[in-house]
Amino acid sequence: MPFDVNNIRQQFPILHTKIGKYPLIYFDNGATSQKPQVVIDCINDYYETENANIHRGVHHLSQVSTEKYEQARKTIQTYINAQHDYEVIFTQGTTDGINLVAHSFGKLLNAGDEILISQMEHHSNIVPWQMLAEERGLVLKYIPMNQAGELEMGQLDNLLTDKTKLVSITHISNALGTINPIEKIISAAHKVGAKVLIDGAQSLQHMQIDVQKLDCDFLVFSGHKVFGPTGVGVLYGKEALLNAMPPYQGGGDMIKKVTMEKTTYNGLPHKFEAGTPNIIGGIGLGKAIEWLAEQDLEAIKEHEDELLTYATAQLSEIEGMQFYGTSEAKGSTISFLIEGTHPYDVGTLLNQQGIAVRTGHHCTQPIMAFYKIPGTIRASFSFYNTKEEIDQFIIALKKAVSMLS
Amino acid sequence: MSITDKENELVESFAIYDDWMEKYEYIIELGKDLPIIDSANKTEENIIKGCQSTVWLYAEKKEDKIVFTADADAIIAKGIIAILVDVLSNETSDTIINARLDFIKEIGLQEHLSPTRSNGLVAMVKQMKMYALALKMK
């Protein structure tokens, strides 16, 4: 169906709410996305008519629930073009997915092995590797970035060695919006025999990812950032790799046979899904992905690019404007500071005028340290945002700045 | 002036404005009257933890009263700490420790500032009471 922003907005009930006397302008999409009515209805309907625990139940509702949960897995498989549905592991979110890989893939690593990340990672793609490196005597390296907030790709070949076992990289920087050249990174990493994990937390909601074409070994993302519910996410992994990895958590569902002495483990995907999963999370995420797949993704990209260009131009007019993250390849995220104002003050006064932005370090303290700033103001757009909202945002921002100077 | 009088005065001053943007302008104004912390006391340990902006707070005992000085790198945070200093400074330790600070709720500061979890209003109050308690023994 052709892209019509008003039609899209009609599907998101929260976009019609007010904050005080101001209509909500939601520019905090990098933190979480809003939910379309179909996802909200799906969750309500499930609890009203279908709720039951999944797998192994002989009764009707359990079978319906199981079918829906597994159908959601297939929907996601199709969307990311995984070869098998069991390569799609449900997690609690991106952080959980990375921790799973750090724990289980990490068990296959030995002292002296190297892991490569980048300077622009979210803390959730730094800390698990630091913990693992300490535990197993690994070497953690990073690809530095330049002033524009781009990875120093010229250094990649020197950083990759025959000891590099894993490269874990964000597709799009949550703090800067930079789109990283992951295709090049994946191919360079594979040449030295390293596996690659792509943090897709900020990309799946803006573009389609084909894991087979991309040839990444792992892909992680969060449900709540792709128009689905919170507390659920996906780890995609190549079958052979997932099979080689030991389980993450022990418990129900992940076992084949348990005696008091020993347990044999279930196959994929259940091996990595111990305990009753977030059933409605999985089903809701499936619905969100199904909804997303129906949208015109090219038109979405065009609209978001237009919002980015328009907002950047409007913001540039404001005196003392300083952008962080000025890469040519950028998602619809703008990080900035205005000379003489504190981001906390600006964020507070924007909030007062109904505008939701994020201020602070965005869980990327190394990026802030690189620029020697405490934090930024971040406006991150989704395709339900409009130019009119950007106009209101600029008016509100100017008012805030005039009050603060 | 008693602590209750000071609180009432603030509530009345804020009641003049019905628009929250105007109330914020008033908070910014109040920040300008803040007794500024001596630069020698602007140390790492005098930074209040839990604020998105940097807020320094220092307390000393003058006779039996606690006197607060502070500063902040964000203007609104500076206004908020100024309001708290205005109410709690020059009071005894016991008065500070037992202060209910109902005016925060009455003005609506809590409601307008706490959703961001970043203003540190709660952290500021806690820190002031901690100082009062620590200086009580001296």
Interface contact flag, B52 A403, Cβ < 8 Å: no
The confidence score (pLDDT) of residue B119 equals 57
pLDDT-above-70 percentage for chain B? 93
Selecting from A344, A352, A359 the residue whose C-beta is nearest the C-beta of B77 gives A344
**Cβ contact (<8 Å) for A345 and B116?**
no
8 Å CB contact of B76 and A345: yes
Residue A351: list chain B partners with CB under 8 A: 115-116
Burial A27-65 (b: 16+ CB within 10 A, else e): bbbbbebbbbebbbebbeebeeebeeebbeeeeeebebb
CB contact under 8 A, B118 and A344: yes
With contact defined as beta carbons under 8 Å apart, do B26 and B76 qualify?
Answer: no
Nearest chain A Cα distance for residue B73, angstroms:
7
Instruction: Tally C-beta pairs within 8 A across A and B.
Output: 50
- Assign A112 to helix, strand or coil: coil
pTM of this structure: 0.93
Return the amino acid letter for A377: I
Task: State residue A3's pLDDT score.
Answer: 84
Contact A359 B118 (CB under 8 A): yes
- The question of whether B51 is a catalytic residue gets the answer yes
> What ipTM is given for this predicted complex?
0.88
Any bridge partners for residue B91, and if so which? Answer: B66
pLDDT at A50: 87
CB-CB under 8 Å, B53 with A349: no
**Min Cα–Cα distance to chain B from A372, Å:** 15
CA distances from A194 to A154, A160, A191, A301, A305 (A): 18, 8, 7, 31, 33
| Set of chain B residues whose Cβ sits within 8 Å of the Cβ of A374 | 54
Chain B residues with CB under 8 Å of a chain A CB are 20-21, 24-25, 28, 52-54, 73-77, 112-113, 115-116, 118-119
Q: Cα–Cα distances in Å, from B112 out to A115, A353, B117? A: 44, 12, 11
Find all residues with CB under 8 Å of A346, minimum gap 6, and list them: A338, A359, A377, A397, A400, A401, A404
Which of chain A's residues have a Cβ under 8 Å away from the Cβ of B52? Answer: 343-344, 359-360, 375
DSSP state letter for A247:
P
The 10s digit of each residue's pLDDT in A305-356 is: 999 999 999 999 999 999 999 999 999 999 999 999 999 999 999 999 999 9
> Which residue do the tokens 């490269």 mark?
A167
What value does the mean pLDDT take over residues A263-281?
93
Q: Which of B76, B115, B118 sits opposite A360 (nearest CB)?
A: B118
Instruction: Calculate what percentage of chain A has a pLDDT beyond 70.
Output: 100
**CATH class for domain B3-136?**
alpha beta
* Contact between A349 and B20 using a beta-carbon 8 Å cutoff: no
* Residues in A touching B115 (Cβ below 8 Å): 351
Check residue A253 and give its pLDDT.
85
Q: Do A353 and B116 touch (CB under 8 A)?
A: no
Catalytic residue among B37, B51, B59, B124, which? Answer: B51
Mean pLDDT calculated for residue range A67-72 = 96
Interval A59-79 mean pLDDT: 94
List the single residue in A341, A375, A403 with the smallest CB-CB distance to B24: A403
B55 contact residues in A (CB cutoff 8 A): none
CB A37 within 8 A of CB A235: no
Q: Which residues of B fall within a CB distance of 8 Å from A347?
A: 116, 118
Residues A381 and A50: beta-carbon distance below 8 Å: no
In chain A the domains, ranked by start, together with CATH numbers, are: 5-31+296-404 (3.90.1150.10), 40-294 (3.40.640.10)
Mean pLDDT of chain A: 96
Residue B115 has pLDDT above 50, yes or no: no
Residues 6+ apart with CB under 8 A from A271: A242, A247, A254, A265
How far does the CA of residue B110 sit from the closest CA of chain A (Å)?
13
SS3 at position A386: coil
pLDDT attached to residue B110: 73
- Domain positions in chain B are 3-136
Model pLDDT for residues A108-146, shown as the tens digit of each residue: 999 999 999 999 999 999 999 999 999 999 999 999 999
B-chain residues within 8 Å CB-CB of A20?
A: 20
Question: In A, which residues are within 8 Å of B25 by CB distance?
Answer: 403
- Catalytic residue selected from A108, A192, A299, A363: A363
pLDDT of residue B123: 86
C-alpha to C-alpha distance for A350 and A251, rounded to whole angstroms: 47
B24, A375: Cβ pair inside 8 Å?
no
Q: List, for residues A182-213, the tens digit of each pLDDT value.
A: 999 999 999 999 999 999 999 999 999 999 99
CA distances from A233 to A37, A126, A220, A246 (A): 20, 19, 7, 20
Which member of A343, A347, A352 has the closest CB to residue B20? A352
How far apart (Å, rounded) are the C-alpha atoms in residues A300 and A290? 16
User: What are residue A80's phi and psi, to 5 degrees?
Assistant: -95, 0
Q: What is the pLDDT of residue A60?
A: 86
Alpha carbon of B116: minimum distance to chain A alpha carbons (Å): 8
The residue ranking higher by pLDDT, A320 or A58, is A320
A89 closest CA partner among A212, A253, A209, A203? A253
Reduced to 3 states, what is the DSSP secondary structure of residue B67?
Answer: strand
Token duo for residue B119: 């203003």
Average pLDDT over residues A214-222: 98
For residue A69, give the amino acid letter. Y
Nearest-5° Cα angle at A351, A347 to A355 = 100
Please enumerate in sequence order all residues whose Cβ is within 8 A of that of A260, keeping only pairs 6 or more positions apart, or say none.
none
CA distance B78 to chain A (A): 10
